[in-house]
Amino acid sequence: MRKMANKIISCILTVSLICSMSITAFAENLQQSPNDIYSVAEDSIVEALRNQCDALTLAAKTIFLQAISDDPELAAYYRENVDAEFVPMLQPENLMRSVTINSTSPLKQLEYNLKALSLPTAVVVSLMAVGSGFVAATADGPLVFGDAYLAVTAAGAAAVIGLNWTIVSPKFPSIVSVFKQCFKDSVSVITNVFDKLKSEAIMQASAKERAEDAAKDVSNSVKKNGSKDTVDLDRFKDKNGRTPKNKDYGRFTSEKDSRYTIEKDTAGHTGYDGTKKEWKLFRSGKRVASLNNAGKIVGD
């Protein structure tokens, strides 16, 4: 009887130990993987947001900077991630004074309602840039589709929205409603242009997934140390020892894995994060990925 009791106790202790080890390992994975994924995704989101802000017209940029200057959270995010030299504007610039003053009401309402949706800060900043484009476009008349389209999709908002699509998707109808409330005279235009934004955001999200799959398929031997998605351009050389960093044509072969070669991409397309596709990566003659100027895998 005593032997039986000892066996039972022993079994219980063994099972407890195994469970403890499994839980610990599971917890470690939870701590590591999300952080890794977050850092990679956040870098791409910030890059896309920078591209969008750079594409704003002078009028829209002035209105946008004035709008985010009034919000400490948005101003801090913009300064830390987009422009380290940004200083909040205490007063509108004289050149844009009339446009900016007129923009205060719709952008204030837009900011308040967007933040109420608990969207990522990058998405709020991106949509505030879109709203600023709308305000600038309506300075001389009603908002027309062409101007609205330029303020939304052509400026790069689709990349920021697409990179956050998992979070944004269920809230997208609410985002559209917010814009309709703030720009009541342009409801039909906003409906049409946000339909386009949704389609392009979904395409961006799909492109991101394909780029991530491509990155997983590329050997770590040709990537930068510790990177999951960036090829080391310094380790690709032509017959004269030049690299893609100091020569923009020809074929370059990996020093570590000769199956991999790089050639210039002249199509002028952009990657999922909004950066331009500068290089084509091949393995054994088959194209496996598209790289931007830094070597980051931004497409398949």
Residue 274's pLDDT band (boundaries 50, 70, 90)?
confident
The pLDDT of residue 237 is: 96
Dist CA 178 CA 229 (whole Å):
36
The pLDDT of residue 25 is: 36
The pLDDT of residue 219 is: 95
Stronger pLDDT, 241 or 153, i.e. the higher one: 241
User: Can you tell me the mean pLDDT for 250-278?
Assistant: 91
User: Can you tell me the mean pLDDT for 224-253?
Assistant: 94
User: Can you tell me the mean pLDDT for 244-269?
Assistant: 93
The answer to which of 84-93, 222-231, 249-258 has the lowest mean pLDDT is 84-93
Q: Cα 221 from chain centroid?
A: 26
Stronger pLDDT, 263 or 16, i.e. the higher one: 263
Dist CA 171 CA 127 (whole Å):
13
Other Cβ atoms less than 10 A from the Cβ of 228: the count is 16
What are the backbone dihedrals phi and psi of residue 125, each rounded to the nearest 5 degrees, phi first?
-60, -45
Task: Give the chain's mean pLDDT.
Answer: 82
Q: Are strands 251-254 and 236-237 parallel, antiparallel or unpaired?
A: antiparallel
**What are the tokens at 188?**
């039909």
**What are the tokens at 122?**
């990058």
The pLDDT of residue 70 is: 84
pLDDT tens by residue, 89-135: 764 444 444 444 444 468 989 999 999 999 999 999 999 999 999 99
pTM for this entry: 0.68
The pLDDT of residue 40 is: 43
Residues 6+ apart with CB under 8 A from 202: 162, 165
The pLDDT of residue 30 is: 33
% residues pLDDT > 70 (the chain): 80
Taking the CA of residue 102 as centre, how many other CA atoms within 13 Å lie in the half-sphere pointing to its CB? 14
The pLDDT of residue 7 is: 46
The pLDDT of residue 240 is: 93
pLDDT tens by residue, 128-186: 999 999 999 988 889 999 888 888 876 678 889 988 999 999 999 999 999 999 999 99
The pLDDT of residue 124 is: 95
The pLDDT of residue 113 is: 94
pLDDT tens by residue, 10-57: 544 443 443 443 333 333 333 333 333 333 457 778 888 888 898 889
